[in-house]
Amino acid sequence: MEKNTLIKNIPFSEALTMAGLVDYEEGRVVSRTLAQRSDLSITLFAFDKGEGISAHSAAGDALVHVLDGKAEITIGEEKIIASAGEVVVMPANIPHALDAIEKFKMFLVVVKPQYQL
């Protein structure tokens, strides 16, 4: 495979389970970046129970696909409980946070506009 591909840190031409690409670590949030550029970010995360990401906002819309476990996702003033198999979209420029109710893994895609509409 070419070294100039967008996707990194994952074997090519293999069938893999997404959740199997990132491992839990006690007391930590573990991440594995699969693609990163100015308009697109694709990252896998594994959160130990009780771990989280504090409130922040992003310039792009973020799609979270929960692969395993359960998380509380706060978007603005709204709290959502998301479990394995569920998807939540966090809109651009709205503060959001994530907290692991139990160990959980997520696939995160952030898409940023290249220009203003």
Going by pLDDT thresholds of 50, 70 and 90, the confidence category of residue 5 is confident
Q: Model pTM?
A: 0.90
The pLDDT score that the predictor gives to residue 117 is: 52
Q: Report, as an integer, the average pLDDT of 3-20.
A: 89
pLDDT tens sequence across 44-88: 999 999 999 999 999 999 999 999 999 999 999 999 999 999 999
The pLDDT score that the predictor gives to residue 48 is: 98
Q: Any idea what DSSP says for residue 20?
A: G
Q: Any idea what DSSP says for residue 21?
A: G
Name the token pair of 96: 């959001």
User: Among 92, 78, 79, which residue's Cα sits nearest to residue 41?
Assistant: 92
pLDDT tens sequence across 87-117: 999 999 999 999 999 999 999 999 998 765 5
**Widest CA span in the chain:** 45
Place of tokens 């420029």: 93
The pLDDT score that the predictor gives to residue 6 is: 87
> What structural domains does the chain harbor?
33-111 (2.60.120.10)
Residues in the chain, total: 117
Going by pLDDT thresholds of 50, 70 and 90, the confidence category of residue 1 is very low
